[in-house]
Amino acid sequence: MIQNVGNHLRRGLASVFSSRTSRKSASRAGNDSAMADGEGYRNPTEVQMSQLVLPCHTNQRGELSVGQLLKWIDTTACLSAERHAGCPCVTASMDDIYFEHTISVGQVVNIKAKVNRAFNSSMEVGIQVASEDLCSEKQWNVCKALATFVAHREITKVKLKQITPRTEEEKMEHSVAAERRRMRLVYADTIKDLLANCAIQDDLESRDCSHMVPAEKTRVESVELVLPPHANHQGNTFGGQIMAWMENVATIAASRLCRAHPTLKAIEMFHFRGPSQVGDRLVLKAIVNNAFKHSMEVGVCVEAYRQQAETHRRHINSAFMTFVVLDADDQPQLLPWIRPQPGDGERRYREASARKKIRLDRKYIVSCKQTEVPLSVPWDPSNQVYLSYNNVSSLRMLVAKDNWVLSSEINQVRLYTLEDDKFLSFHMEMVVHVDAAQAFLLLSDLRRRPEWDKHYRSVELVQQVDEDDAIYHVTSPALGGHTKPQDFVILASRRKPCDNGDPYVIALRSVTLPTHRETPEYRRGETLCSGFCFWREGDQLTKGPTTA
């Protein structure tokens, strides 16, 4: 079945993608959604935790320690994962966490976790954290987190059952979970490549060394003995406990630079490389890698050993945390410069500068709401992975919306519309007797589109980024009374199905390139979210979009 969906944007062509399989299935989906949104429905994997913040949970400012919050987050998420898996689970990774609000003593922390999607033996768990003032009844969003847990049985291999999403929110999270998983699996290599290839600019040589703090003065090393209260029923150390210890040494290192009480604002995505057990000694090392105008990056490393005589230590985890120092008005203060040690210190210093750029790009592209992302985002090797992720996930989330309205049907081709905020989106759907893999191969090469789409006059391949992503320059005829033709610079991202029931995806969005600026010859058009999604309905049936 072919479906064509798009946004009517401020400038440019509408987008195209597929969503429903038929009127019957759309109606059934609508009924399921109504039941899901109705009173009494609750996600079977959902776990909620509410904690009253007591003085023993707070830091020197009377605010909830982030380490304690991380322990509560990990516990809630683990319980959700185990509820779905039916067996013990361990923390495998945690995505970027941005802390938007601090929590004071006497307030309540409300944490909600649920499994977004299950794969073979791992699950993505979504976590939402809010704070509540019992006296004023005010509530604040504190942070959102995405954690990956792995189910573990000692005797038999785990094969997790699939999640069946029912509400619109569940469908949207389920649809993009596979893309987030793809990004996690290549994360380490992506960072390594970006740090190697990205041009890092810093003013280390031009800074006044007399006003710089030696990085070695911020170095912290601490050891923790893993005891039974720190571990689960299998004797493995809680991931949240390790994160809390890491936050502790990172805070000490940051304090030694600023000589004040820093506030943790962000934790970069990290993976647990291996487990630790009761009886392990964990050595935690932290140092300030770089200090910027209003923020600093602290690197933390965790190693484990069993006996003091052991010469080999197991690398458990590494993380990078961003701190700021706030004044009485909660505004960030200026920080002193850091003077790195020659060799590894200078390497960490320059890598921290690159990570800052990558982090800002990732936060901007991945975390922004759809309406806050500009139509054309500058293309840069440092944001390549995240632009591709945003391209595909935006299309998948648009497809998953429930409130599409059937506007017309001609010759079994259906047109649906969706009014949402300042966008008018649409999609078309139909059934075609073409093998899905063949259709995917043909449609993913935009250079062939002028053969069947009159709105594409010419297509030039500007850059083949990798196997799944390419940038094209597209020209189209003049439309709507304009005398000039339009041109577009488009990032095309394609994805094969991750699992049974997943669609083939070809996502399109505008980007800007310094080599292809707007010219007087064309009116520059832009598209925010467009493309194709098509599912295999049978051996030779394909469901996907037509063109707009």
DSSP 221-275: EEEEE--GGGB-TTSBBPHHHHHHHHHHHHHHHHHHHHSS--EEEEE--EE--S-
Rounded Cα–Cα distance for residues 273 and 17 (Å): 39
Q: Specify the pLDDT at position 11.
A: 34
Helices (H), 400-474: 436-443
At residue 34, the 3 state secondary structure works out as helix
Structure tokens belonging to residue 166? 């029912």
Which run of H or of E encompasses 70? Answer: helix 66-85
Structure tokens belonging to residue 217? 């003065």
Listing DSSP states for 340-396 in one string gives PPTTHHHHHHHHHHHHHHHHHHHHHHHHS-GGGS-SSEE--GGGHHHHHHHHHHHHH
pLDDT in tens, the chain (548 residues): 444 455 433 333 333 333 333 333 333 344 444 444 445 789 999 999 999 999 999 998 899 999 999 999 999 999 999 999 999 999 999 998 999 999 999 999 999 999 999 999 999 999 999 999 999 989 999 999 999 999 988 777 788 999 999 998 999 899 899 888 888 887 777 767 766 765 555 555 555 556 789 999 999 999 999 999 999 888 899 999 999 999 999 999 999 999 999 999 999 988 999 889 999 999 999 999 999 999 999 999 999 998 766 678 999 999 999 999 998 888 999 999 999 999 999 889 988 888 887 777 766 665 555 455 556 778 877 778 888 888 998 898 888 888 899 999 998 889 999 987 778 888 888 888 888 888 898 899 999 999 988 889 999 999 999 899 999 999 999 887 788 999 999 999 999 998 878 889 999 999 999 999 999 999 998 888 899 988 887 533 444 443 33
Q: At what angle do helices 187-197 and 344-367 cross, to 10 degrees?
A: 120
Q: Specify the pLDDT at position 152.
A: 84
Phi-psi region of 534 (alpha: psi -120 to 50; beta: other; left: phi over 0): beta
Rounded Cα–Cα distance for residues 69 and 264 (Å): 12
Residue 21: how many CB atoms within 10 A of its CB? 17
Q: Specify the pLDDT at position 183.
A: 81
Structure tokens belonging to residue 210? 């007399």
- Cβ neighbours for 42, distance < 8 A, ≥ 6 positions apart: none
Q: Specify the pLDDT at position 10.
A: 34
Domain annotation for the chain: domains and CATH numbers: 44-163 (3.10.129.10), 209-367 (3.10.129.10), 386-534 (3.30.530.20)
- Cβ neighbours for 151, distance < 8 A, ≥ 6 positions apart: 81, 85, 87, 88, 89, 121, 122, 123, 158, 160
Q: Specify the pLDDT at position 23.
A: 31
Q: Specify the pLDDT at position 324.
A: 95
Rounded Cα–Cα distance for residues 440 and 504 (Å): 7
